[in-house]
Amino acid sequence: MKPEPLAKEKIIKSKVTLGDKKPTELCIKADVKSAVDLVLKEIEEKRKLRTVNKKKVEYFNPENPYYHLGINRGLEIAKDLIKKAFEGVM
């Protein structure tokens, strides 16, 4: 299954209410997993882009050559947080 965004069309409006007066919105676990996989894939592509060739690195700063390493570390942290938040569907 190719990773794809969680579009509005994939959210199911339920007639069941859970504690409040609004109808509950539900998502299928596979759709959520697909969306999370897409985000993780895009993060990994951006991380690789910034380390392959310093001349093409978006965040390369000649005055601070370690700046892009900080960006890569931030992307790694984001991946870890996403995996932790969605561990039930991964």
| Continuous segment of H or E residues that includes residue 12 | strand 12-13
Name the residue type at position 7. A
What pLDDT, on the 0 to 100 scale, is given for residue 77?
93
Closest CA to 65 of 49, 54, 77: 54
How much is the average pLDDT of 60-88? 82
pLDDT band at 85 (very low <50, low <70, confident <90, very high): very high
> What pLDDT, on the 0 to 100 scale, is given for residue 52?
44
Instruction: Give the residue-averaged pLDDT of 61-90.
Output: 82
Q: Which phi and psi angles does 26 have, rounded to 5°? A: -120, 155
Calculate helix-pair angle for 29-52, 67-85, nearest 10 degrees. 170
